[in-house]
Amino acid sequence: MDNDGQKKFMHLPEREIPVFSEVDVLVCGGGPAGIGAALAAARNGASVLLIEQRGYLGGMATVANVPAFCPYTDHEKPVIRGIGLEILEDMKGRMEVGFQEEWRGELDWVPIQAEVLKLLLDEKMQEAGVSLLFHTFIGDVIEQNGMVDAVIIHNKTGTQAVKAKIYIDATSDADLVYHAGGQLTQGGDEGELQPGTMCFMLHNLDRKRFLAHVDEYGVDLKHAINKAKSEGTLNVVRDWAGISWLNDQTAGFNFGHIFGIDGSKTEDLTHGAIAGRALVNHITEWLRTHIAGFEQAFLSLTGEQVGIRETRRIVGDYVLTSDDFQGCRSFPDDIARNAYFIDLHMANAQSGMTMVHLPPGQSHGIPYRSLLPVGIENVIVAGKCISTDRATQGATRVMPNCFAMGEAAGTAGAMVSKQGLNSSRSIDVKQLQAQLLRQGAWLGEAFNEA
Ligand SMILES: Cc1cc2nc3c(=O)[nH]c(=O)nc-3n(C[C@H](O)[C@H](O)[C@H](O)COP(=O)(O)OP(=O)(O)OC[C@H]3O[C@@H](n4cnc5c(N)ncnc54)[C@H](O)[C@@H]3O)c2cc1C
């Protein structure tokens, strides 16, 4: 900025940059959507490069330490299957014996041990033959007439280009679509966004003492939070804390909100990191002094980044709406199904949560068209930022869904490249669905039981 508040611009001199790699499918971002996409594309025979700005995979589960996977089921059966279910079961299989016993047969709200997940994902990528490039940020694209020609990457080596036949935008903020000049929308009518949360991990807890205290005095955490809020000893807005126990001494926490953070702005992420750590420190101190079993709590970790629930959404060939959600609508081009509830966290301290549940056994379809950004031919979007209205994003955004959308995007990407097509819209969607079913996906009775 200038002294008078005017934004200043500079001219970047034209220069040649090296092409780092040319692949069939380039997956941008290594969260649940990117993981599903990369594994599916490689298993379907494509050469795949996955680029991730951190030094590991997992997205919000490992970057922000989001402590549990949302439900895989509709309370009656798993709706998220395929690669997402494989990763869940494989992670559970590597956890401590006690954890395995506790969570055997469970598919909903399974706690995440980030280190187990990171290693598992490294190994899965190696087995599938996915090339990985960590510590690399995608900062731009070269685009012409709705076709992305290359993405521009920045890392220790410098600035380079990566070319692919098809690009998968799994950045969760639709970075590729943004840089390609695609149509985007964000937040609510007033620009409101769901808050962020700095998740954290505590050790030296005594789960048995905590639970016994709840049993004996009938005083649960919600009650304690409300009492503390009214007495002014705890500065949080919502009287809820997500606690995911990894063992009797260790738990991950999704507790507290940081308002006014736009995760597509680095200044806001910076503020969120600082405010988030301060809030975690305050909450931990309160837990130590007020909650039985938490007296010796040892704070071992906060997220590398404040967890971001909502930023940009693409405008795709179809915008999935809350009417579709509530009507449990199916589409001829469904590539996954969602049974998770609309879980829209309050945008500020004065507003409330919006929660809309589907009945048990019910889900709605996610059409392939919601993954295709209007006006861009060779980018498929998967994960948090697909084309939905704001309320529906509050449901589709969760990790199991992102695995499933990613798997569909990667499978479609491999089809585009193998069939020598140049558009995500040219594939035969029936063929894509048939392949997803062979891979174990659930697309609803009409597809799976046909
Ligand atoms: C506080 C919080 C609590 C939540 N609770 C739950 C829960 O309990 N259970 C659940 O299932 N879901 C939960 N969610 C939702 C869920 O974690 C995310 O919506 C989900 O992880 C989105 O998956 P994704 O693959 O689209 O993106 P992400 O998980 O965000 O992954 C995107 C990846 O892309 C990388 N990336 C982004 N931009 C670039 C770039 N330009 N260059 C290189 N790399 C890039 C990022 O580093 C990241 O690894 C929660 C989210 C938050 C924030």
Quote the ligand 1 centre to 212 CA distance (angstroms): 35
Quote the ligand 1 centre to 173 CA distance (angstroms): 9
pLDDT tens digit sequence for 44-95: 999 999 999 999 999 999 999 999 999 999 999 999 999 999 999 999 999 9
Mean pLDDT of 315-335: 98
Residue nearest atom 35 in ligand 1 by C-alpha distance: 29
d(CA 118, CA 310): 24
Q: Pull the structure tokens for residue 32.
A: 């649940």
Select from 26, 27, 60, 343 the residue to mutate for testing ligand 1; criterion: most ligand atoms less than 8 Å from CB. 60
d(CA 321, CA 315): 12
Q: Identify the residues whose C-beta falls under 6 Å from ligand 1.
A: 29-34, 51-54, 59-60, 63-64, 66, 68-70, 137-138, 170-173, 175, 197, 199, 254, 307-309, 383-384, 397-400, 402
Mean pLDDT of 418-428: 97
Query: Quick one: which atom of ligand 1 is closest to the CA of 385?
Result: 26
d(CA 73, CA 32): 17
Specify the pairing of strand 354-356 against strand 342-344. antiparallel
d(CA 133, CA 138): 11
Give the residue carrying structure tokens 């010796």. Answer: 296
pLDDT tens digit sequence for 113-160: 999 999 999 999 999 999 999 999 999 999 999 999 999 999 999 999
Specify the pairing of strand 131-133 against strand 137-144. unpaired
d(CA 44, CA 65): 31
Q: Is 63 exposed, middle or buried (0-12, 13-18, 19+ CB in 10 A)?
A: buried
Residue 40 pLDDT more than 70?
yes
pLDDT level of residue 378 (50, 70, 90 thresholds):
very high
Give the residue carrying structure tokens 């966004």. Answer: 193
Quote the ligand 1 centre to 12 CA distance (angstroms): 32
Quote the ligand 1 centre to 29 CA distance (angstroms): 9
Query: Quick one: which atom of ligand 1 is closest to the CA of 175?
Result: 41
d(CA 309, CA 64): 11
Residue nearest atom 17 in ligand 1 by C-alpha distance: 60
Residue nearest atom 27 in ligand 1 by C-alpha distance: 172
Mean pLDDT estimate for the chain: 96
pLDDT tens digit sequence for 250-300: 999 999 999 999 999 999 999 999 999 999 999 999 999 999 999 999 999
Q: Tell me the three-class secondary structure of 176-201, residue by residue.
A: HHHHCCCCEEECCCCCCCCCEECCEE
Q: Pull the structure tokens for residue 235.
A: 């500065």
d(CA 382, CA 373): 11
Quote the ligand 1 centre to 6 CA distance (angstroms): 34
Q: Pull the structure tokens for residue 68.
A: 């549990």
Residue 309 pLDDT more than 90?
yes
Quote the ligand 1 centre to 118 CA distance (angstroms): 14
